[in-house]
Amino acid sequence: MANRKRKTAHRNLPQPALGTAIRELRQKRGETLKTLAPRAGVTWGTLGVIERGEANPTWGTVQAIAAALGVRVSELAKAAERFEG
């Protein structure tokens, strides 16, 4: 049971690699938090928290961010994999 709790707790921890990938793609496109966030349906503060790896976005938010960046979710995931430690 303790092992199962550890696995669940790990999944709930923020995943900074995703946020780093989002920031990299946003900056490559010359976007700011304030221009990208409304197109993704989140506030720029929320987007900043995600980019800093302080919170995990919901699946719907990941999809919306990817769409706002003009990439597929799979491309976003591949970018995030480069930053996983």
Q: What pLDDT does 11 receive?
A: 66
**Which among 20, 63, 25 is positioned nearest to 41, based on CA atoms?**
63
Q: What pLDDT does 13 receive?
A: 78
Q: Report the predicted TM-score, pTM, of the whole model to 2 decimal places.
A: 0.84
State pLDDT tens for residues 48-67.
999 999 999 999 999 999 99
* Calpha distance 75→15 (Å, rounded): 17
Cβ partners under 8 Å of residue 25, min gap 6: 69, 71, 76, 79
- In order of their start, the domains of the chain are 2-81 (1.10.260.40)
State pLDDT tens for residues 5-50.
555 556 677 889 999 999 999 999 999 999 999 999 999 999 999 9
